[in-house]
């Protein structure tokens, strides 16, 4: 083979490699080249409201919109499991609190995914969880509730966002710590649980703050205690369980995650867009979250992953107390 032919083949090879590099780079830059599905594993009324102010604006900073898709059931396991089994290409994400990602796999051994089945992208907002009762009830404080529950074992009924979800287990861990026993009625989200409480079908709800907020403001529901480490800004007069002498506590962070194996450049692109959304629309998002008793709380992939692992350790220990 002549030197001229060698040079010709070498040049063609270089052109091919360069073309592949440019194509790969273009494909990465084009993400997403179709709408991104963000699965909400609960019924409308809670988790979606905590994330929608961010997701609705993502399309301004990426080539395609982020669309919420509801897949409720089994305390969030239906939607989370769907995402865990989806292709790790960045087009199917899950938006949730730690309940469906951390708590459900620990509590339900039939669930086929775990916390490690996901790539955390970002925490975006912080709400809270609380115990609420009807304003018509003679029970006006947590002390009253515990005393009544001890005198009337198995009589108190309470609703949650789903069996073995975070609101269910927080209530059960607290009940165990307080030495009382309640009857659990699961629903497909905190919103339906609040509706059941308002309708008199249950006496209490262990719930995310958002669905209860307007009803507390209207005077139809009475907050008894919050599960977080500090009092909620929206309810400065409602004590935490810790203040009342109990250990049960959990922060209500809501965020988005992708299936395990999703490329880092895709994770970074989504997180970067979320940061831009907050930078540009922070005041508007804050106004959206204020009515839910929530606020912006952004954690990057590594911070969010650390938080979820901490929650995993917390609930793994807590579950031992109710088994």
pLDDT, tens digit, 9 for 90 and up, residues 168-215: 989 999 999 999 999 999 998 889 999 999 999 999 999 988 889 899
What's the distance, Cα to Cα, between the start and end of the chain in Å?
A: 77
Q: What is the pLDDT confidence band of residue 279, given thresholds at 50, 70 and 90?
A: very high
The Cβ-side half-sphere exposure at 59, using a 13 Å CA radius, reads: 14
Residue 12: how many CB atoms within 10 A of its CB? 10
Calculate mean pLDDT across residues 54-69: 98
C-alpha dihedral sign at 303, 305, 310, 315: positive
How far apart CA 12 and CA 188 sit, in angstroms, is 60
CA dihedral 303, 124, 163, 112 (to 10 degrees): -50
Residue in the structure block whose two tokens are 């009807």: 134
Structural domains for the chain? 35-127+251-320 (3.40.190.150), 129-226 (3.40.190.10)
pLDDT of res. 269: 98
Q: Which helix (H) or strand (E) holds 131?
A: strand 129-134
Residue in the structure block whose two tokens are 């009830």: 137
Question: How do residues 233-269 score in pLDDT, each as one tens digit?
Answer: 889 999 999 999 998 888 789 999 999 999 999 999 9
How far apart CA 133 and CA 206 sit, in angstroms, is 9
How much is the CA Rg of the chain, to the nearest whole Å?
23
Q: What is the pLDDT confidence band of residue 46, given thresholds at 50, 70 and 90?
A: confident
Report whether the peptide linkage leading into residue 32 is cis, meaning its omega lies within 30 degrees of zero. Answer: yes
């Amino acid at each position: 083979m002549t030197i001229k032919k060698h040079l010709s083949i070498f040049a063609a090879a270089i052109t091919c490699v360069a073309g592949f590099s440019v194509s790969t780079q273009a494909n990465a830059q084009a993400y997403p080249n179709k709408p991104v599905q963000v699965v909400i594993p609960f019924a409308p009324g809670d988790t979606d409201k905590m994330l929608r102010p961010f997701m609705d604006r993502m399309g301004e900073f990426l080539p395609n919109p982020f669309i919420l898709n509801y897949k409720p059931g089994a305390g969030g396991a239906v939607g989370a499991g769907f995402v865990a089994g989806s292709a790790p290409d960045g087009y199917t994400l899950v938006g949730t609190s730690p309940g469906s990602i951390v708590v459900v796999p620990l509590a339900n051994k039939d669930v086929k995914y775990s916390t490690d089945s996901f790539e955390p992208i970002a925490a975006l907002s912080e709400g809270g969880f609380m115990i609420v009762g009807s304003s018509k009830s003679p029970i006006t404080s947590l002390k009253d509730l515990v005393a009544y529950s001890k005198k009337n074992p198995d009589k108190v009924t309470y609703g949650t966002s789903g069996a073995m979800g975070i609101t269910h287990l927080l209530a059960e861990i607290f009940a165990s710590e307080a030495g009382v026993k309640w009857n659990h009625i699961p629903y497909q989200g905190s919103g339906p649980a609040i509706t059941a409480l308002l309708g008199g079908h249950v006496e209490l709800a262990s719930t995310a703050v958002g669905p209860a907020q307007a009803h507390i403001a209207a005077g139809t529901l009475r907050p008894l205690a919050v599960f977080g480490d500090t009092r909620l800004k929206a309810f400065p007069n409602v004590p935490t369980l810790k203040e009342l002498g109990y250990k049960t506590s959990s922060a209500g962070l809501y965020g988005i995650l992708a299936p395990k194996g999703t490329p880092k450049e895709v994770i970074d692109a989504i997180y970067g867009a979320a940061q831009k959304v907050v930078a540009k629309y922070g005041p508007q998002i804050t106004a959206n979250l204020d009515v839910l008793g929530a606020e912006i709380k952004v954690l990057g992939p590594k911070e969010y992953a650390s938080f979820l692992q901490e929650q995993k350790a917390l609930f793994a220990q807590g579950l031992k107390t109710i088994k």
